């Protein structure tokens, strides 16, 4: 093709055919309207009712189960428990397993999306928050059947603000100061009961070359356990719960006192806690590099088992007393369990599964494989408990008040967006308690007001 | 032509200098390359060592044994084949649709004169540049409302479906491809299109029959990049898919990390396996890569 | 001259012949543009507008649209005044941008220039430097965790600092971890920029370069006066890409420690408030809008430049 011809055709191309604006707009508009029109016309409700919920027949079919048991031991345990359920009732269970932390993070979307019939969750405010907003199913009728096997405290923790029950406990575990018996024996250390004794113990351990307290807060929540305890020991259980409910000021002298007391522990705790996972901290206790750790029996038990260190060597002391008025009355013992979706596909089977999980049989099945927690059902057999479980159960039953842990006792948005960064900031700079508490209070006001 | 003749003369004149320069160049490049590969080689090394070996000697030590134990364990424990399949189900259609849409729009913009051209290009390209977090909530809400027929999505909605993931990836990535393809298409001589039109070929015929086949290098380059980006996407899958078993491989790695966080060897093997498809795609299409990426240059 | 006039005449007639598209063609074009447009506008632009609206509301993300409360600029006020992670996050994003713009970008340009010379093994080198780009950021985060781990990581072991008290906490120390992560990000960014410049360099007229070489000019001079100016369109693309990558940075930081303790970034703050268990949709949307506004600066700059030139 000659140069001239090419230029000619090029020019012809440039002044080429016109597509009318109208035709384009029309197509686009029609397309958009079609897409959005279908979607936005009224709510796509699950058309009330679920298949298989008619009448009082025997539960059958399949029930879906949303599980956050991602660590190997709990995972095996829940599988064993669900297998036992299937054997007993003939109902199959379809598992939807998600990584532990991801499950919690996604809960909001999960509940409003397409949740499984039964799913794992926690007791306390964290449950009430979602129940209040109508996102979970009422299981008061299941509680009527098993309620007498539970103490009042458990029932209260499973009840929503409207008086109905929404949660079925599975197990709980005690937070305490755990240490290796053999290590203490070897060095002649004795567990402490009062704050002064505890401080002396920390000093002694440190002078003998071991890190007194294993400490990790990379995930943001482990430090809450220590805060809760220091607060309950300094100001009492009632004050602590009011604080969690947003009814006390965070920059009050009481809370500042708590932070001051907490700060005295930091020089005896592992350094660089913000870069360490709790699993590594627990491992340091197993490896005899640290002496003690404020953690739940469930967690340290799992870590010891994973590293093949015998959990029988674990001993727990209740968090030391700070203010004699409050003694060591309160214990932090988070309850893990399950809830039902608002509109489950198989309601009969879901309720049957929840009843099983809340029964002695179900809990015993679980604890057979995961012996790091204790049953919540009072009729569950405790004779086969190992040393760790016995201590945990003992501490829980002798406590006067039970708290759930900060991220379950307070609003989830406050716990994760305000308290996690705040506690991490505190660990980094424990001197500026005034500035820190003032800021927490400001943010708390804005969240609890909404 | 005349320029080429003079080239040898230039080289001759500075023969010795050139050789030292070349050596220095290679030393520099080789050194940088080794530095660049170090982290990956380290991961590879870790993945080949059995856990018992590193538990005893630590990770920075000479190897006791080297085997593929971790790979087979990761493959089965993390259920990797399943997640690979998920990733492919999401990525392949998404890449195909993205390229198809981008080519279509690029064709209209580059070869048909149209008052809307510039505005259109802006709408597409700017969409690509937005951070994903900006549209998370409304998108999530939208997906919960948009229905899909049961055979396409077992949730009945765009939410928690492969189609939903494919759709958002396509919407997000089309801009960049439109840009590159429109630039590329501008370099195709107009005469070809004209000849076809004179012969009576319609727009579709010109597009599919003439222009698209000529864009192969650009399409190959973009296919590689898009495959990489969509396969590696993390956020959309986490937010828009809730069933653990529908998530792509990026989430599988997170799950693996959650469960086996102390077993670096296993995680390293998992990471290597996860990276394999993108490496393979790159190796296959590398030839076209640079030639296909036309980003608009000073020369027409 | 005569031939050109005749050619012009033929052009005019050709124009007259090839004017209207057939009806079928118009429909085809409508679909070709319309369907992609539906995707992009429906799934990206409309949600963006919705986010802007939500930023002026207070909503916990639960319930229907009737539970949304309008609060005006309250969210923005709070973000700027009492939200502790905000200013650090903004600072970190800017540091990220500055770092990426200065180090890996220039290094990528250098690599591209050197590898454009068609020396032996150029393709192998390109593959090596591009490798990190092909890996997912989750994998990149994991790889560098192996390098930076306090007791078991490569660096600390090579430096011999693995005992308690001596450990360099690359990822846990808020003064160090941003830089540690930036190195990982730069490792990836350099390869990406290298490819962009390689693509750009191939379209620079070789005649220009050879002309400069013949004149006996040094390579640096030729680069500065001839090659670099010719790369202007690519430079704009590279600048925009760098800024966008800096603003979008999310995955690496999230994998390392969920974006806390020294690794706060705006994108992570949005995620925390919207996706986490805590649902402060209005708040998170306000953060997202701030991120959007900052992103619009390079976007608009680029669009104005690229399309200003064309029209």
Question: Which residue has better confidence, B66 or C103?
Answer: C103
Cα–Cα distances (Å) from C218 to B14, B29, C112, C223, in that order, read 12, 21, 18, 9
**How far is Cα C231 from Cα C227, in angstroms, rounded to an integer?**
6
**8 Å CB contact between A300 and A178:** yes
pLDDT at residue A18 tops 50? no
Q: What is the ipTM of this complex?
A: 0.81
Question: Which residue has better confidence, A71 or A28?
Answer: A71
- Average of per-residue pLDDT values in chain A: 84
Domain count, chain A: 2
Question: Which residue has better confidence, C306 or A13?
Answer: C306
Question: Which residue has better confidence, A212 or B75?
Answer: A212
Say if A13 falls within a structural domain.
no
Q: Do C277 and A412 touch (CB under 8 A)?
A: yes
Overall average pLDDT of the A125-152 stretch: 90
Closest in A9, A18, A275 to C150, CB measured: A275
Overall average pLDDT of the B209-221 stretch: 85
The residue written with tokens 């036992």 in the block is A84
Overall average pLDDT of the A2-10 stretch: 38
Overall average pLDDT of the B225-242 stretch: 87
Say if A23 falls within a structural domain.
no
- Write out the two tokens for A209: 């070359």
Helices C281-310 and C74-82 cross at an angle (nearest 10°) of 100
Overall average pLDDT of the B92-108 stretch: 93
Per-residue confidence band for B7, with pLDDT thresholds at 50, 70 and 90: very low
pLDDT tens sequence across B152-197: 777 778 888 899 999 999 999 998 889 888 888 888 887 877 777 7
CA A265 to chain CA centroid, nearest Å: 25
CATH class of C81-310: mainly alpha
* pLDDT value for B295: 62
SS3 assignment, position B220: helix
**Which residues pair with residue A290 across a beta bridge?**
A211
pLDDT tens sequence across C164-221: 667 788 888 888 899 999 999 999 999 989 988 888 887 777 777 777 667 766 777 7
pLDDT at residue B14 tops 60? no
B25 in the same domain as B106: no
* pLDDT value for C216: 67
Cα–Cα distances (Å) from B134 to B159, B247, C37, C43, in that order, read 18, 22, 19, 12
DSSP codes, B65-81: ---SHHHHHHHHHTTHH
SS3 assignment, position A94: strand
- Average of per-residue pLDDT values in chain C: 82
* pLDDT value for A391: 92
B150 in the same domain as B11: no
Say if A256 falls within a structural domain.
yes
**How far is Cα A441 from Cα A448, in angstroms, rounded to an integer?**
10
- Write out the two tokens for A293: 């750790």
Overall average pLDDT of the A208-222 stretch: 91
* pLDDT value for B66: 84
* pLDDT value for A121: 95
A261 in the same domain as A215: yes
pLDDT at residue C16 tops 50? no
Question: Which residue has better confidence, A105 or A353?
Answer: A353
Percent of chain C with pLDDT over 70: 88
**How far is Cα C91 from Cα C53, in angstroms, rounded to an integer?**
26
Say if B172 falls within a structural domain.
yes
Q: Give the closest-approach CA distance of B104 to chain A in angstroms.
A: 14
For residue C200, the chain B residues in CB contact (below 8 A) are 295, 297
Burial C237-273 (b: 16+ CB within 10 A, else e): bbbbbbbbbbbbbbbbbbbbbbbbbbbbbbbbbbbbb
CB atoms within 10 A of CB A345: 19
pLDDT at residue C1 tops 80? no
**How far is Cα A267 from Cα B176, in angstroms, rounded to an integer?**
53
The residue written with tokens 């690509």 in the block is B128
Say if A19 falls within a structural domain.
no
**How far is Cα B3 from Cα B11, in angstroms, rounded to an integer?**
13
B281 in the same domain as B203: yes
Overall average pLDDT of the C2-10 stretch: 59
Q: Give the closest-approach CA distance of A10 to chain B in angstroms.
A: 5
**8 Å CB contact between C116 and B11:** no
CA B111 to chain CA centroid, nearest Å: 27
* pLDDT value for C186: 93
* pLDDT value for A47: 33
SS3 assignment, position A314: strand
**How far is Cα A113 from Cα A103, in angstroms, rounded to an integer?**
13
Question: Which residue has better confidence, A387 or C295?
Answer: A387
Total length of chain C: 311
* pLDDT value for A205: 94
B84 in the same domain as B27: no
Three-state secondary structure readout of C54-123:
HCCEECCCCCCHHHCEECCCHHHHHHHHHCCCHHHHHHHHHHHHHHHHHHHHHHHHHHHHHHCCCCCCHH
Question: Which residue has better confidence, C144 or A275?
Answer: C144
The residue written with tokens 């919960």 in the block is B144
pLDDT at residue C124 tops 90? no
Residues 6 or more apart whose CB falls under 8 angstroms from that of C27 comprise A23, A27
| Pairing state between β A211-214 and A290-296 | parallel
A208 in the same domain as A166: no
Which CATH number is B204's domain given? 1.10.3720.10
pLDDT tens sequence across A335-352: 999 999 999 999 999 999
Q: Give the closest-approach CA distance of C76 to chain B in angstroms.
A: 15
Strands (DSSP E) found in chain C: 57-58, 69-70
Overall average pLDDT of the B133-144 stretch: 84
- Write out the two tokens for B140: 């999530």
Per-residue confidence band for C8, with pLDDT thresholds at 50, 70 and 90: low
Say if B113 falls within a structural domain.
yes
B106 in the same domain as B15: no
Per-residue confidence band for B12, with pLDDT thresholds at 50, 70 and 90: very low
The residue written with tokens 């394999």 in the block is B276
Per-residue confidence band for A238, with pLDDT thresholds at 50, 70 and 90: very high
Does any CB of chain B come closer than 8 Å to the CB of residue A200? no
Does any CB of chain A come closer than 8 Å to the CB of residue C29? yes
- Average of per-residue pLDDT values in chain B: 81
SS3 assignment, position B1: coil
A339 in the same domain as A233: no
Q: Give the closest-approach CA distance of B190 to chain C in angstroms.
A: 13
* pLDDT value for C308: 66
**8 Å CB contact between A179 and A291:** yes
Q: How far apart are the first and last CA of chain C?
A: 29
- Write out the two tokens for B110: 């580059």
* pLDDT value for B74: 83
**8 Å CB contact between A239 and A233:** no
B171 in the same domain as B27: no
Overall average pLDDT of the A137-160 stretch: 90
Question: Phi then psi for A403, rounded to 5 degrees?
Answer: -105, 165
B120 in the same domain as B223: yes
Per-residue confidence band for A364, with pLDDT thresholds at 50, 70 and 90: very high
Per-residue confidence band for A194, with pLDDT thresholds at 50, 70 and 90: very high
Question: Phi then psi for B29, rounded to 5 degrees?
Answer: -65, -40
Structural domain containing residue B282:
77-292
Which CATH number is A286's domain given? 3.40.190.10
Query: From the CA atom positions of chain C, what is the Rg in Å?
Result: 26
B241 in the same domain as B164: yes
pLDDT at residue A318 tops 90? yes
pLDDT at residue A154 tops 50? yes
Overall average pLDDT of the B265-283 stretch: 87
pLDDT at residue B94 tops 90? yes
Say if B66 falls within a structural domain.
no
**How far is Cα C70 from Cα A414, in angstroms, rounded to an integer?**
21
* pLDDT value for A31: 37
Overall average pLDDT of the B246-263 stretch: 75
B142 in the same domain as B93: yes
**Which residues pair with residue C164 across a beta bridge?**
none
Overall average pLDDT of the B133-159 stretch: 82
A180 in the same domain as A240: yes
pLDDT at residue A3 tops 50? no
For residues B228, B231, B234 and B239, what is the CA-based torsion angle, rounded to 10 degrees?
140
**Which residues pair with residue B157 across a beta bridge?**
B147
What is the helix (H) or strand (E) element at residue A97, kind and residue range? Answer: strand A92-97
> Which of A233-237, B116-120, C60-64, C106-110 has the lowest average pLDDT?
C60-64
- Measured between CA atoms, the residue of chain B closest to residue A8 is B191
Q: Which chains sit next to A, with 3 or more Cβ pairs under 8 A?
A: B, C
Residue A446's Cβ-count burial label (10 Å; 0-12, 13-18, 19+) is buried
pLDDT tens sequence across B17-61: 677 778 888 899 999 999 999 999 999 988 888 887 777 777 777
Question: Phi then psi for A106, rounded to 5 degrees?
Answer: -90, 0
Domain count, chain B: 2
* pLDDT value for A304: 87
Q: Give the closest-approach CA distance of B92 to chain C in angstroms.
A: 16
Three-state secondary structure readout of B2-60:
HHHHHHHHHHHHCHHHHHHHHHHHHHHHHHHHHHHHHHHHHHHHHHCCCHHHHHHHCCC
**How far is Cα A341 from Cα A68, in angstroms, rounded to an integer?**
15
Helices A433-449 and C74-82 cross at an angle (nearest 10°) of 170
* pLDDT value for A59: 80
B156 in the same domain as B19: no
Does any CB of chain B come closer than 8 Å to the CB of residue A99? yes
**How far is Cα A103 from Cα B86, in angstroms, rounded to an integer?**
20
**How far is Cα B28 from Cα C76, in angstroms, rounded to an integer?**
50
* pLDDT value for C230: 80
SS3 assignment, position A169: strand
**8 Å CB contact between C264 and C89:** yes
Q: What count of CB pairs under 8 Å joins B to C?
A: 294
B203 in the same domain as B132: yes
What is the helix (H) or strand (E) element at residue B242, kind and residue range? Answer: none
What DSSP designation does A311 have? G
**How far is Cα B251 from Cα C200, in angstroms, rounded to an integer?**
35
Say if A417 falls within a structural domain.
yes
**Which residues pair with residue C290 across a beta bridge?**
none
Please state the domain extents for chain C.
Answer: 81-310
Residues 6 or more apart whose CB falls under 8 angstroms from that of B42 comprise C143, C146, C147, C154
For residue B255, the chain A residues in CB contact (below 8 A) are 70, 98-99, 102
Computed from CA positions of residues C248, C249, C251, C257, in that sequence, does the dihedral angle turn out positive or negative?
A: negative
A131 in the same domain as A167: yes
Per-residue confidence band for A55, with pLDDT thresholds at 50, 70 and 90: very low
Per-residue confidence band for A42, with pLDDT thresholds at 50, 70 and 90: very low
B206 in the same domain as B116: yes
Say if B56 falls within a structural domain.
no
Overall average pLDDT of the C132-160 stretch: 84
* pLDDT value for C307: 67
**How far is Cα A206 from Cα B265, in angstroms, rounded to an integer?**
34
> Which of A97-106, A202-211, A403-412 has the lowest average pLDDT?
A97-106
For residue A114, the chain B residues in CB contact (below 8 A) are 155, 157, 159-160, 242
SS3 assignment, position B188: coil
Say if A9 falls within a structural domain.
no
* pLDDT value for A80: 95
Does any CB of chain B come closer than 8 Å to the CB of residue C131? yes
CA triple A111-A116-A117, angle to 5 deg: 105
Closest in A13, A19, A106 to B114, CB measured: A19
Q: Do C61 and A272 touch (CB under 8 A)?
A: no
- Measured between CA atoms, the residue of chain B closest to residue C147 is B39
* pLDDT value for C100: 92
Q: Do C164 and A32 touch (CB under 8 A)?
A: no
Residue C1's Cβ-count burial label (10 Å; 0-12, 13-18, 19+) is exposed
Query: From the CA atom positions of chain B, what is the Rg in Å?
Result: 25
Q: Which strands, in side-by-side order, build the sheet including A92-97?
A: A92-97, A62-67, A118-122, A335-340, A167-172, A374-375
CB atoms within 10 A of CB A10: 14
Burial B88-101 (b: 16+ CB within 10 A, else e): ebbbebbbebbbbb
Structural domain containing residue A301:
175-332+405-449
Q: Which of A160-169, A396-405, B77-86, B288-297 has the highest mean pLDDT?
A: A160-169
């Amino acid at each position: 093709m000659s140069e001239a011809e090419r230029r000619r055709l090029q020019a012809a191309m440039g002044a080429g055919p016109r597509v009318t604006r109208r035709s384009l707009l029309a197509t686009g508009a029609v397309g958009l309207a079609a897409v959005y029109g279908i979607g936005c016309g009224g709510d796509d409700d699950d058309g009330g009712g679920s298949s298989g919920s008619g009448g009082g027949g025997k539960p059958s079919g399949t029930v879906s189960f949303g599980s956050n048991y991602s660590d190997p031991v709990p995972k095996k345990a829940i599988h064993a428990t669900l297998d036992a359920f299937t054997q007993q009732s003939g109902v199959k269970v379809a598992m939807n397993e998600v990584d532990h932390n991801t499950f919690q993070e996604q809960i909001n979307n999960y509940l409003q999306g397409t949740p499984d019939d039964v799913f794992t969750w926690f007791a306390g405010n964290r449950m009430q928050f979602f129940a209040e907003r109508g996102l979970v199913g009422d299981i008061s009728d299941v509680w009527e059947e098993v309620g007498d096997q539970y103490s009042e405290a458990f029932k209260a923790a499973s009840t929503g603000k409207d008086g109905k029950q929404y949660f079925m406990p599975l197990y709980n575990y005690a937070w305490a100061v755990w240490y290796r018996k053999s290590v203490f024996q070897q060095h002649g250390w004795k567990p402490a009961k009062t704050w002064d004794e505890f401080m002396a113990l920390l000093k002694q351990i440190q002078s003998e070359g071991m890190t007194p307290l294993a400490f990790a807060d990379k995930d943001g929540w482990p430090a809450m356990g220590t805060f809760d305890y220091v607060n309950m020991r300094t100001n009492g259980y009632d004050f602590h719960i009011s604080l969690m409910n947003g009814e006390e000021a965070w920059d009050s002298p009481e809370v500042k006192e708590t932070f001051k007391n907490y700060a005295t522990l930091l020089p005896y705790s592992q350094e660089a806690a913000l870069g360490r996972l709790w699993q590594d901290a627990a491992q340091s206790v197993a490896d005899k590099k640290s002496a003690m750790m404020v953690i739940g029996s469930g967690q340290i038990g799992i870590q010891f088992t994973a590293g093949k260190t015998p959990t029988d060597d674990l001993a727990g002391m209740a968090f030391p007393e700070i203010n004699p008025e409050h003694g060591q009355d309160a214990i932090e013992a988070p309850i893990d369990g399950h809830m039902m979706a608002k509109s489950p596909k198989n309601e009969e089977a879901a309720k049957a599964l929840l009843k099983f999980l809340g029964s002695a049989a179900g809990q015993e099945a679980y604890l057979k494989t995961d012996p790091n927690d204790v049953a919540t059902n009072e009729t569950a057999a405790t004779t086969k408990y190992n040393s760790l479980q016995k201590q945990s159960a003992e501490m829980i039953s002798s406590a006067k008040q039970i708290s759930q842990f900060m991220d379950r006792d307070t609003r989830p948005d406050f716990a994760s967006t305000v308290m996690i960064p705040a506690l991490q900031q505190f660990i980094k700079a424990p001197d500026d308690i005034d500035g820190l508490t003032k800021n927490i209070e400001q943010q708390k006001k804005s969240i609890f007001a909404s | 032509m005349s320029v080429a003749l003079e080239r040898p003369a230039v080289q001759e004149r500075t023969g010795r200098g050139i050789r030292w320069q070349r050596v220095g160049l290679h030393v520099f490049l080789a050194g940088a390359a080794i530095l660049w590969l170090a982290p990956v080689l380290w991961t590879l090394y870790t993945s080949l060592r059995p856990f018992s070996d590193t538990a005893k000697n630590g990770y920075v030590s000479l190897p006791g044994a080297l085997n593929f134990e971790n790979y087979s364990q990761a493959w089965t424990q993390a259920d990797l084949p399943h997640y690979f399949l998920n990733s492919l189900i999401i990525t392949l259609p998404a890449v195909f649709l993205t390229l198809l849409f981008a080519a279509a729009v690029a064709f209209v913009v580059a070869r048909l004169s149209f008052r809307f051209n510039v505005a259109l290009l802006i709408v597409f390209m700017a969409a690509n540049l937005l951070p994903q977090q900006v549209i998370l909530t409304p998108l999530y809400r939208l997906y919960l409302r948009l229905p899909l027929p049961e055979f396409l999505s077992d949730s009945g909605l765009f939410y928690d479906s492969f189609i939903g993931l494919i759709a958002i990836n396509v919407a997000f990535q089309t801009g960049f491809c439109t840009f590159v393809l429109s630039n590329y298409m501008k370099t195709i001589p107009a005469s070809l299109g004209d000849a076809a039109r004179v012969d009576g070929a319609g727009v579709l015929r010109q597009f599919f029959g003439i222009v698209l086949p000529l864009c192969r290098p650009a399409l190959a380059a973009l296919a590689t990049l898009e495959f990489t980006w969509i396969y590696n996407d993390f956020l959309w899958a986490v937010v828009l898919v809730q069933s653990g078993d529908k998530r792509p491989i990026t989430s599988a790695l997170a799950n693996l990390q959650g469960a086996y966080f102390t077993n670096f060897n296993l995680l390293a093997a998992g990471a290597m396996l996860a990276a394999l498809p993108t490496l393979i795609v790159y190796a296959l299409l590398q030839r076209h890569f640079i030639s296909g990426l036309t980003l608009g240059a000073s020369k027409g | 001259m005569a031939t050109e006039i005749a050619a012009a005449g033929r052009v005019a007639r050709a124009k007259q012949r090839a004017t209207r598209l057939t009806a079928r063609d118009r429909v085809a074009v409508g679909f070709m543009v319309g369907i992609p447009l539906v995707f992009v506008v429906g799934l990206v632009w409309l949600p963006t507008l919705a986010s802007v609206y939500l930023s002026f509301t207070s909503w916990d993300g639960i319930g229907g649209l009737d539970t949304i409360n309008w609060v005006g600029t309250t969210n923005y006020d709070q973000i700027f005044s009492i939200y502790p992670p905000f200013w650090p996050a903004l600072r970190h994003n800017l540091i990220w941008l500055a770092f990426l713009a200065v180090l890996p970008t220039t290094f990528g340009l250098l690599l591209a220039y050197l590898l454009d010379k068609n020396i032996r093994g150029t393709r192998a080198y390109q593959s090596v430097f591009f490798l990190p780009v092909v890996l997912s950021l989750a994998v990149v985060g994991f790889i560098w965790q192996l390098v930076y781990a306090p007791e078991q990581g490569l660096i600390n072991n090579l430096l011999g600092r693995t005992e308690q008290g001596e450990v360099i906490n690359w990822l846990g120390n808020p003064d160090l971890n941003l830089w540690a992560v930036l190195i990982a990000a730069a490792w990836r960014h350099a390869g990406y920029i290298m490819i962009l410049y390689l693509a750009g360099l191939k379209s620079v007229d070789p005649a220009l370069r050879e002309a400069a070489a013949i004149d006996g000019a040094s390579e640096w001079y030729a680069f500065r006066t001839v090659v670099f100016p010719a790369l202007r369109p690519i430079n704009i693309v590279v600048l925009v890409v760098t800024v966008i990558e800096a603003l979008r940075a999310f995955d690496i930081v999230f994998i390392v420690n969920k974006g806390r303790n020294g690794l706060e970034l705006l994108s992570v703050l949005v995620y925390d408030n919207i996706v986490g268990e805590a649902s402060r949709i209005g708040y998170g949307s306000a953060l997202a809008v701030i991120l959007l506004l900052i992103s619009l600066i390079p976007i608009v700059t680029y669009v104005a430049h690229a399309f200003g030139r064309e029209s």
